[in-house]
Structure 1
Amino acid sequence: MTSSLPDPSFSHPTPSSSMEAALRQELERLRLLLSTAAQVVWSIPARDDADPVSPSWRAFTGQTVEQMRNDGWLEVLHPDDRAGARVAWERATATAMRFEARYRLRRTDGTYVWMLARGAPVLAPNGDVREWVGTCIDIHAQCLGEERAAFLARAGELFSSSLDASATLASLANLSVSALADWCIVDLLHPGGHFQRVQVVTADSSQASLVSTVRDLNPVPRERPVYPPSVALATGQSTVVPEVSDALMQAVAQDARHLEVMRMLGIRSLITAPLLARGNILGALTFLTTTSDRRYGDDDLKFAQELANLAALAVDNARLLQDAREAVRLRDEFLSVASHELKTPLTPLSLKLQALSRAVKAHPDSPLVPAIEAHVETGHRQVRRLTELMNDLLDVSRISAGTFSLQREAVDLAAVVREVCEQFAPRFALEHCAFTVETPDAVHGTFDRTRLAQVMDHLLDNALKYGAGTPVSVRLTVDGAVARLRVQDGGIGIAPEQRPRIFERYGRAVSERHYGGLGLGLYLTRTIVEAEGGRVSLESRLGEGAMFEVVLPLTRP
């Protein structure tokens, strides 16, 4: 960031010998200040043949006076910051305005430190610039905090954008080698104790073979581990090694091959932070410097641990999601198998009931006929109910497996509605429900006839269950290119907060202790209607009944 501000300057409009003496005294005081300042203070004369004055600059950077001349001071700035600093300096010197720039300044040990440089021109009595004086304030901690905050924010975006642990950790590793390390290694410890090195990333794209070699290393925790990733995986402890020596590599190597690979890497500094979530060790995150001059310290370790905590949370969430999906898969698989198995005995039972019904009809004069026929009808009704439940469970399994499909044909929707309503009429009469049906003579479209009958069956069964003893009406109309089917009851109604969930799988708006069913009817209704290109909606108030509307297209592209 650069800016130029008007400078009041150190001007002396009325030259005199006393003023010149005072000025010389002031300059001498300034030079003494430059030689004793704790921070970097500098003075650059405007004359090309004069030497810059900055003992603190030379002490900090190691530059000589000769190296500082002719903009040579720019050479100890970070290469990425030189152009911006040069532009700011040239703008200031061309306009005699204040100079300001942020850049990374190379210390004598090779480390770059963020500085805020500010300077101002000192004007001679004639208004010309005599020299430039300024300071470089160490703002490294502030800039590092800003960089880390931005990095954590970016990492957080990566973790929240995907619930795939592998993809998330891959993105984190690639992000890290561009900002924090020359190498990033991610090890995972699975719940069963299985170790997996999931990511090895380096900033040097030519090191592909070495990446493969590092990936094949096996830092499995041993009884008393000393290799940092093994320590993290076994104990959950973090490690920071500012300077990695060959003696240290020999001390922590698990075998001769391991030592050879570490030497090939040329590790200079290292951080390992465990991935911890809910008291469990999930893995370890390791950063290495191999070619850069960066050396890790305690502040870097704290940051790495904070990053590891975010990564651990993402991994833990991904595993929880995976476990939940697996549980759902196993449940659906069980329901599918159970549905098939339960339907198997229903078929012979239904045949036996039919045989018993025929046998009863062969003896019409028997006094037992009425009782037996009543029991047979009850048996048939329960078999049909069980069959419907099994079919619903099978449909849910097909939907989950992606094998649910429609068999469309030319269908008279009005005829389908009337047929299903006729089947339900005795049941409504038994529950003392006034049941009215209103349809046109014919409503033609292309649908799956069986599935439409299933939709009607679920809607009427829902009205019968929750609207028992109240009027129930069915009305089919044609509205332009769509058909509208409305099923209305005067039953218990549905609270507003419950409406969104009743169309979900196993969704219920009432207690299962008071009303039976699996909570699948409306879910299957929505699935079928949407598969037909339509939509289903609900209007209801608690205690005032419910009205379901199904809208179906009568024409298709």
Structure 2
Amino acid sequence: MSRIQRTHLQCYYVSIVSMLLMLLLSFTLENWLKVEVTPLFLAAVVFMSWYGGLFLGLVATVLATVGKDYFFNLPLYSVPPLNWTDVCNLIIFSLVALFISSIHSELHTARPKPDVELEKLKVSHFHLLETINEGICIFNTEGQTEYVNPRLAQMLGYSTEHLSDRSIFDFINHQARLEIEQWLEQENHKHPQTKQRFEWRLQNQDQSGIWVSVSISPMLNQQGELSGAIAILTDITERKQIEAALRHSEAIAKARAEELETIMETVPVSVWIAHDPQCHYMSANRTAYEMMRMPPGSVMTATPASGEYPFPFKIQKNGQDIPLTELAMQRAGLTGQEVEAEFEFVFSDHDIRYIYGKATPLRDTDGHVRGVIGAFMDVTERQQAEAERQKLMSLLQQKQEWLDLAQKSAKIGSFYWEVPANVNVWSQELETIYGLKPGEFGGTYQDWAKFVHPDDLMNAEAELHRCINLGETEYFTDFRIIWQDGSIHWLQSRARILYDDAGQPCRMVGVNIDISERKQVEEALRQSEARLRQLLQSSIIGIIEVELDTITFANDAFLKMVGYSQEDVLARKLNWQAMTPPEYNEIDQAKVEEVLTSGVCIPFEKEYIRKDGSRVPIMLGAARLTSGPSTWVCFILDLTERKQAQAALQESELMFRTLANTTPQMFWITQPDGFHEYFNQRWYDYTGGTLEKAQGEGWLAILHPDDVQRTIECWYGCLQTGKDYEIEYRLRRADGEYRWHLGRAIPLKNKNGQILKWFGSCTDIHDQKLAIEERADAWEKERKARIELEQANRMKDDFLAIVSHELRSPLNPILGWAKLLKTRKLDQIKTKQALEVIERNAKLQARLIEDLLDVSRILRGKLSLNTCTVDLVNTIEAALETVRLAAEAKSIDIYTELATNECKVEGDPNRLQQVVWNLLTNAVKFTPEGGRVEVRLEKIGAWAQIQVSDTGKGITPDFLPYVFERFRQADEGTTRKFGGLGLGLAIVRHLVELHGGSVQVTSPGEGLGATFSVKLPLIATYQVDNDYRLPDCTPNIQGLRILIVDDDADTLELLTFILEQHGVAVQAVTSASAALEAIAQNKPDLLLSDIGMPEMDGYMLIQQIRASEAASITKLPAIALTAFAGESNSQKIISAGFQRHLTKPVEPSELAAVIANLIQI
């Protein structure tokens, strides 16, 4: 039993209580029995030292000494003065108490050592039992549990407290109880005891039960008798489940095998099983033998060892025998793959059966082929049915083609619409009707609705909803559609609506028919009917319908003409022959024959006898109706007023012609529709034509070609509005000369405002016109000249101001830093900075001057190109290098995307580089810090496109048209942020156009950047043998002897220094005469001469040198150095005798390159 651990507080508490009890007992014994209390106090010390050890014994000794002396020595309840006797008694008592305490302390310390070791061992075993993954149970011989570990409690679903002191028989079945009782009985009578294993099914808390493997070992007491047992329980539920599953699977497999064997015998499919990959040993079902027409079991191999053919029939494919090794079963066994095959069994009676099947390899657990199983079917009937189906499909396809052809010719397209899924399938003909390409239709109802005319879509949908609501199956409507090109077409839709069992529409099948032509015909018919009704309602023309000789219909105009009424017509009292005077019988008979022959007769004049006996002159035309040969319709025009007017007209016409032919103007008359029917004699005299040529629209032939269109518009406009006509145009005279005429015409109207005639004249105004035009031209020229002069003066002033600003601006830092350098007070860093500023601004001035000269060449048409084959990639990269430092200074990211394939053009490499440099400079200048510039080069067909884009200032839409104009800037005020002359982009456009290209600019707006696009024509690949490439290294001119001539000492000193830096031996002179003397003394390798010099200029110098070299084979290489940069100066320099020329200021690298190039020549 383990030693009880006590706290210090408990020890003190027990010590005090013990002493108090001892005091109380001592008082009692002393008062009642008069017993000496000293042994009692010693007993208390003994108890406390045994209970709490040495320390507590010491405490008890002190308390006992004080208590005994205070309560039991005289005087009582006080501390008396000590005498030797008392001191001896106290010392003896204390020593005895201390001795007893020490002895107990030693015993107390020595005795627990084995107990501690045992306790540690028990704790380890206890910890092992608590953490082990197996269930542990300790029970006595009666089956009562003495210990259960947490794992067993977990397995049974209980807590350890719930399992303690319970019988193990509560958790096992009857059979297990008998087994354990029998084992306990055997263990009581057997020595030595042995372990035993059982497998039990325990009942856990949720009554589901678990299987455990139990290992029981006996436990003996100190006498060696059986006191109980310890059981170790392992959960084998999962193993039991797997074993049960395996037994179940084996049973199922056995049943499946029996079922498979039954199926093989009953299935109507031939099944073969080969028990080896070579198909030496075979088994087959009954259906297979029936298919082969052989008794069951007669064929046990498909590949006999003897090589004999095992079947009484032939196995063929398309009439060719199939070797045994090529049969499906054998191929599957050899290749290890599934084989699908079709072949024929050809029997001796020439009966052929078509067989189809598959053979699949069987594999063992290692994946090796151990056999083959094959299933084959007699598909002879299917083959025959397939052949019949193919025949029917061919016939169906032919009929479909006929249907498609019929639909195409009749402009009919079919459709199929699945309503719930909204899937609309159109035929190709229907897509054509809707103006679509095959497969272009989207396939939904909404895609169809987009084509329907907005005015017709609602009606078409309403008709569809009406049919669905009423449950009708036939849908019929007309509507218009709008093609993608905007044209409108009429369609007629005829369809059948199909419904499901719930009465909801499920699909719609029908056709659309293009009825545009029919609609056009109907519209024409409607217009014709409208015109006919209008004609019938007219009071001018009489219309009658005649059947034989009787008038069966007459309009009011005819009845008014002859004096009869509608009652007379209804009574059939009107006979057209009775109304005709006898003298017209002959012509009437001729016209009747004409109608019977041709169906119509040409209108002719005759008379009718009115009801009152008077005669009315008429014009009659007739036509036979289709309803019968004796039914006609006649149109009668009353000529009474016309006849009366003809007489008056003849007299008036005579007077008019006389007056018209005597007027000096050309006079003409037209009908209300503008048909010219009369010209006076003056017209014929001027034009030299005839009435036949000028009649109708013939007069237009003598109009000047430039005046025809506006004359027609003016003339026909007046015909429609009835306004007076007045126009000036040129008419061709008979001799071919065009002369200006004033054409005027006014309409003659009746009292109703209707135009009867147009009367017009043409008056010759040629001389006046020329005088007016001359005055107008002179005034317009003067006005334009004045405007151009004012604009030129304004642009000149603006330009001079800009030039002054741009030239003076760089001079300020140049002069400022130059003066500071002269003081020699700058350190090395500031000196370097000063030189860089001076160089940068000097280059800026040189660029400004070069731009001015380029513009001057452009204005005079003197800008020329030195063309060669140019690789644009090299050109762009060279331009990028010149602006890279400026971009880096503003933290601008330059992104390039250059074509990997060759982009080569025919052009001037320097000018093309100038184009790219100008665009890049502008992009960097107008892009703020941290911006981005993109450069792209790509091929677009036969063109190379260079694009420079930036994220900078952008261009307003108002200024975009003027970007490439000279001297134009978006910001021209004194507060402008960006400098420049406004020439760069004008030069870019001109240079690009000289190369046969184009340049464009786009910008989303101000602050959104801009994109410049340059297009240049590419050259064929065979033309690019000699590509121009920019020099990529410093030329070597070391050791040359060069004579420099310049009257400007500063320039002379600079050139000398530059060349000496390249290792050149320089001889510098300040005049041409000194140069001639130097050449005579020691001829140099090259001459570098200024042009503008006093007394003898560079032209005179080179001419004398060339004259002296007339008899010499070698010529002195000469380079001109001039500040005159015009194109004419360049030509003059070359023609004078120089081979090259350079424009001041000179770039050191360019000077060295030109010298090296010339010396190589």
TM-score > 0.5, shorter chain as reference: no
Q: In terms of Rg, which structure is larger?
A: 2
TM bin, normalised by shorter chain, reads: 0.3 to 0.5
Q: 1 or 2 for the larger relative contact order (CA 8 Å, sep ≥6)?
A: 1
